[in-house]
A = this chain, B = another copy of it.
Amino acid sequence: MRGNWFNEERTTRHRRELAIIGQRNRLQYIILGLLNQRPQTGYDLAKAFENEIGEFWQAQHSQIYPMLKRLETAGEITHEDTIAGEKLAKKQYSLTPSGHEKLVAWVSEPSPELAATKDEFILKLYFIKSADDPRLQPMLQEQAVLHRTQLAHLKQRRQTVFPDQAAIDQAYGHYLILDHAIGREQYYVDWLNQLLEH
């Protein structure tokens, strides 16, 4: 395990037992995982970050293209040049055996760190000292709208992407994380509603 600014090996301080991590090079693994599903172009990968994994991880094409080069240099992926139509050049990337191994190793290794949630609203709440602060109710209202919208969006996605049991069985992990995200939003909405009822 790489040294983390605050981890369990750091025995001299006992303020917190569990490390909360920022973000490390997980992008490479996501790319390997996506390419394991099927060979894809950088553009396809960028779209995946806007769609299915977008709820959980974000990356722009400006981060993806350089990473594809790095991974190819490292021998984890290769590409095949193709031409679409008259002359539109595409690079179809796919995993090498080494890349596949690396992906399997990553999924199999422990994930002992808590997710770093950076929620600006929660941060602002911290600085509201009193329950009577006139800013509090509007803030809660605003967040309720935001999270109700997101909840509806996620439920809609679940219905579209997983219409039947067969769809769930084919991409069980994807189903689980969508289900998890829905539950998380539902909790957020319930928590806000309960506060709004005072």
Residues of A within 8 A of B (CB): 5-6, 13, 15-18, 20-23, 26, 29-30, 33, 36, 50-58, 60, 103, 106-108, 110-131, 133, 135, 139, 142-143, 146-147, 149-150, 153, 169-174, 176-177, 179-180, 183-184, 187-188, 191, 195
Q: Are A123 and B16 in contact (CB under 8 A)?
A: no
The count of identical subunits is: 2
List of B residues within 8 angstroms of A13 by Cβ: 50
CA distance A170 to B131 in the complex (A): 9
Contacting residues, chain B, for A124 (C-beta < 8 A): 106-107, 111
Classify the interface of chain A: helix, strand, loop or mixed. Answer: helix
A23 nearest in chain B by CB position: B118
A118 partner, pick from B50, B116, B171, beta carbons under 8 A: B116
Which B residues are CB-close (under 8 A) to A139? 111
Shortest Cβ distance from residue A174 to the other chain B in the assembled complex, whole angstroms: 6
CB distance from A182 to the nearest CB of B (A): 10
- The answer to whether A146 and B184 touch (CB under 8 A), given A106-B124, A107-B127, is no
Q: A20-B55, A26-B123, A33-B126 are in contact. List 13 more A-B contacts (CB 8 A).
A: A5-B60, A20-B54, A33-B127, A52-B126, A53-B123, A56-B119, A56-B123, A103-B127, A107-B135, A112-B142, A114-B150, A117-B117, A133-B172
Q: Are A126 and B56 in contact (CB under 8 A)?
A: yes
